[in-house]
């Protein structure tokens, strides 16, 4: 099989750096993208690894130009992995527009714009009956299910991202394009750190000036600081292998049906399982209230075709 061509964002450190190294080791080609990419990864360039300067806040027009440039590097792209992201802790009350806008742009709007720009290329390349499926992956977070206090905007951006991926897959799977959200638990990455030299880390500003929130912030921060690695069980090398396996349908993913949302990390699994159990209990306890808002005479039976469209297992088939 000919080498696949990947476009990966956020590759200068953390999961992204581990990803591009593993992709090349598997015999594929990768376009590694990020800010100041030549400065940070110039030594890695090879016949199999190209670099693309890309800022996730650049906007739709710039994204379209970058996709055109990326497509021309190896002549096509088979897999897009939207990995770039940012994180921080700050109270919702003290979060200004700049903070909120950057969080959602990097974690949600940027990946959406890049994906939107690439989709016409992927559709056209899959117009033939024998064309192999294209794949689009997104690095999301288990906090999409289980938001932490003082990380409301991060969790909200990732929840929106995972919802977008699930709906997008249902739209494009019939066209030969599969999508997946990788909902990661704790990994030793640079999330929460400055995105470039000279920037301030949002996390370092998180305490703010409202004393009423200080006890809660201290309790959460103290939990993490007491034993940081206890809350970062993930291994960067292993998550890179897992992501590549899923997107190539090899290794741990071989023989499994396509999954639109995949959890990485025991902490992700345990916290999401707890959330699902709690949601079943909560919805059950309030079922009479939910049903009570239906119009008089309605049979309280949701149409099967609607449930198929919203199913995480059947949607997109």
pTM here is 0.92
- Residues (pLDDT < 70) of the chain are 128-131, 189-208, 315-317
Instruction: Specify the pLDDT at position 234.
Output: 84
How much is the pLDDT for 205? 46
Alpha-carbon distance 196 to 102, whole Å?
A: 13
pLDDT of 83 reads 97
Question: In the prediction, which pLDDT does 204 show?
Answer: 41
Q: What is the pLDDT of residue 198?
A: 44
pLDDT at 192: 47
pLDDT of residue 316: 59
**pLDDT attached to residue 199:** 47
What pLDDT does 129 receive? 55
């Amino acid at each position: 099989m000919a080498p696949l061509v990947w476009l990966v964002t956020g590759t200068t450190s953390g999961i992204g750096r581990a990803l591009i190294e593993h992709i090349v080791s598997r015999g594929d080609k990768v376009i590694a993208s990020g800010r100041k990419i030549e400065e940070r990864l110039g030594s890695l360039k090879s016949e199999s690894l190209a670099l693309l300067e890309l800022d996730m806040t650049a906007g739709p027009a710039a994204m379209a130009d970058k996709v055109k440039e990326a497509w021309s590097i190896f002549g096509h792209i088979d897999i897009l992995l939207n990995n770039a992201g940012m994180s921080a802790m700050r109270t919702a009350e003290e979060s200004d527009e700049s903070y909120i806008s950057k969080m959602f742009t990097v974690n949600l709007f940027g990946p959406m714009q890049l994906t939107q720009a690439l989709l016409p290329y992927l559709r056209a390349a899959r117009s033939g009956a024998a064309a192999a499926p294209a794949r689009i992956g997104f690095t999301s977070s288990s906090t999409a299910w289980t938001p932490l206090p003082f990380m409301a905007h991060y969790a909200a951006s990732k929840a929106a991202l995972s919802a977008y991926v699930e709906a997008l897959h249902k739209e494009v799977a019939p066209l030969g394009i599969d999508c997946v959200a990788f909902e990661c638990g704790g990994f030793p990455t640079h999330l929460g750190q400055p995105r470039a030299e000279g920037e301030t880390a949002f996390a370092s500003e998180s305490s703010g000036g409202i004393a009423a929130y200080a006890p809660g912030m201290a309790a959460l921060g103290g939990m993490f600081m007491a034993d940081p690695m206890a809350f970062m069980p993930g291994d960067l090398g292993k998550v890179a292998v897992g992501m590549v396996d899923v997107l190539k349908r090899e290794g741990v993913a071989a023989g499994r049906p396509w999954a639109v949302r995949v959890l990485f990390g025991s902490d992700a699994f345990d916290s999401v399982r707890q959330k699902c159990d709690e949601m079943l209990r909560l919805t059950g306890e309030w079922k009479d209230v939910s049903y009570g808002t239906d119009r008089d005479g309605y049979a309280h039976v949701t149409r099967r075709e609607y449930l198929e469209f919203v199913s995480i297992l059947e949607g997109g088939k």
